[in-house]
Structure 1
Amino acid sequence: MVKVYGEAPIRLLIVEDNRDISENIAEYLEKYNYVLDFAYDGISAMHLALTNPYDVIVLDIMLPGMDGLSFSKKLRTDAKVETPVLMLTARDTLNDKLKGFEAGADDYLVKPFALQELHARLQALYKRISGKTSNILSVGDLTMNKSTLQVHRAGQRIDLNPACMKLLQRLMEEAPSVVTRDDLETLLWADEPPDGDALRSHLYKLRQAIDRPFESSLIHTVHRIGYRIAEDT
């Protein structure tokens, strides 16, 4: 990962099997406010796209493992991910461009291209979606796709029951703020919470799934108030 520090960096996934092209893009974009991840085949790119909250994906069409058109279709249709996709390809016919847009691409750039134009198109895509709410929630290395209800931590898929899924989503939406016990009980049981420690039992199960297998804990108890999720204690 290449990090370029600044205010509100744009998270970018570059999917390109030609490492020279990837390195040229990275070298140019280092001057600007981006956080860059790289994938060199369609399968590893899909894993990254489903487990990280990217702002834009730069996608080559000719890829090993899964081509760019199949990747884009799967991202949109199966995973319900709405991250803008900028396709890169040497194919410049109208039919090729239409296939890209039909597969879910938001923009299309023909190789060879000027890096200044790539940067301008990325900025335009980011501005177009920056006011929209992302489907991906992220706290540290923990992510949740609100459309597919897929949860990953450190790249590992985590399966949760419906109650734990509701609790985790609320905690992540409010992170790093505290969510009160009353709010969490209302979330699960409306105005009729059960007697006893039912909420504590669900939080225990959630912690077993989210925290126990990993080195650091994300879910924290705030004594007599509620719970919060954050990287810090």
Structure 2
Amino acid sequence: MTRLNLLLIEDHAGIARQVATFFDGLHWQLDHAATGALGVQLATGNIYDVVLLDLNLPDIDGLQVCRAIKAGAPSNVPILMLTARDAYEDKARGFHGGADDYLTKPFDLRELALRCEALARRSQLHVHQEMRVGPLLLLAREGRAMYGEVPLALTHSGFKILLLLCREHPHAVSRSALSAHLWGSEPPDSDALKSHIYALRKQLDAAGCTGLLVTIPQLGYRLAIELDSRAGQ
């Protein structure tokens, strides 16, 4: 089995111990958060292959935690929802909230491990470790970006916006697509994306990349790099 780096957000101490013991036997790395707040903090500050998320947390609803991780994590980490709820409506809410897979409690730890491997493998197929558009280089797993030899100091949201623009270059990306990329099916108010675009432009300006992000009227945004020399590995 491939060695994975995982985050478990689960308030039930017994379940957390069982998962930790089983994964330790596989030589996998597991961080544990007993609250949603700590889970979001860990997920947005570290790189994980998969996040295991309990839907019923004591402080924050699991779906809110899921959306916060999808919006703030430095890479598009897959999320496996863990819950005792097995009704179709509950599963639909989980998937619509941004979950990538769903496992009902009680579960077989061997199946949990298989699902984690599958999610991590699928994620690697869709996310390039390295993406380049002209002089712009994005290191997706590390959440870092360079323009030529200049490092770009980006927020998590700014990096995610830039990552999508790189993937779609030389085409423009619509506002609705960017909103879905950042927040899933429940974006905040209509000015939120404008605020993030404004902040990203400021971050690019500070690195001497003025004019890199351009607005396409009636559509959205694109990168002002005419030569498409993307390379991924």
TM-score, normalised with respect to structure 1: 0.56
For residues 163 and 70 of structure 1, what CA distance do their matches in structure 2 show? Answer: 30
> 1:34–1:144: structure 2 CA closer, same or farther, 3 Å change rule?
farther
Q: 2:158 aligns with which of 136, 145, 148?
A: 148
Residue 133 (1) aligns with residue 128 (2): yes
**Which residue does the alignment assign to 2:11?**
17
The AA in structure 1 aligned to 2:124 is: S
For residues 14 and 163 of structure 1, what CA distance do their matches in structure 2 show? Answer: 34
For residues 79 and 47 of structure 1, what CA distance do their matches in structure 2 show? Answer: 9
Q: Which moved more, 1:47-56 or 1:62-71?
A: 62-71
Q: 2:49 aligns with which of 52, 55, 59?
A: 55
What is the number of equivalent residue pairs in this alignment?
153
For residues 31 and 165 of structure 1, what CA distance do their matches in structure 2 show? Answer: 47
Q: What is the SS of the residue equivalent to 1:72?
A: helix
**Structure 1: tracts of 5 or more residues without a match:** 1-6, 151-160, 167-186, 190-233
**Structure 2: tracts of 5 or more residues without a match:** 130-139, 145-152, 161-201, 211-233
Q: Specify which structure has the bigger relative contact order, considering alpha-carbon pairs within 8 angstroms and separated by 6 or more residues.
A: 2
**Which residue does the alignment assign to 1:193?**
none
Deviation at 1:8, TM superposition (A): 6.7
Cα RMSD for the two superposed structures: 3.3
For residues 97 and 81 of structure 2, what CA distance do their matches in structure 1 show? Answer: 10
For residues 136 and 148 of structure 1, what CA distance do their matches in structure 2 show? Answer: 15
8 Å Cα contact 1:52/1:136 also seen in 2: no
8 Å Cα contact 2:35/2:59 also seen in 1: yes
Deviation at 1:104, TM superposition (A): 0.4
> 1:125–1:137: structure 2 CA closer, same or farther, 3 Å change rule?
same
**Which residue does the alignment assign to 2:195?**
none
8 Å Cα contact 1:42/1:63 also seen in 2: yes
For residues 162 and 103 of structure 1, what CA distance do their matches in structure 2 show? Answer: 29
**Which residue does the alignment assign to 1:28?**
22
Q: What is the SS of the residue equivalent to 2:99?
A: coil
8 Å Cα contact 1:80/1:148 also seen in 2: no
For residues 37 and 164 of structure 1, what CA distance do their matches in structure 2 show? Answer: 37
Deviations 1:65-117 (CA, angstroms, capped at 9, x unpaired): 21211111222346685210000000000111000000000000000000011
**Correspondence 1:1-233 to 2 at 5 A:** 9-77=3-71, 82-131=76-125, 132-133=127-128, 135-137=140-142, 147-149=157-159, 162=203, 166=207
8 Å Cα contact 1:136/1:145 also seen in 2: no
> 1:136–1:50: structure 2 CA closer, same or farther, 3 Å change rule?
farther
TM-score, normalised with respect to structure 2: 0.56
Q: Name segments (4+ residues, structure 1) moved above 6 Å.
A: none
Task: Using the aligned pairs only, state the percent identity.
Answer: 35
Name the larger-Rg structure: 1
Q: What is the SS of the residue equivalent to 2:6?
A: strand
> 1:63–1:144: structure 2 CA closer, same or farther, 3 Å change rule?
farther
> 1:65–1:81: structure 2 CA closer, same or farther, 3 Å change rule?
farther
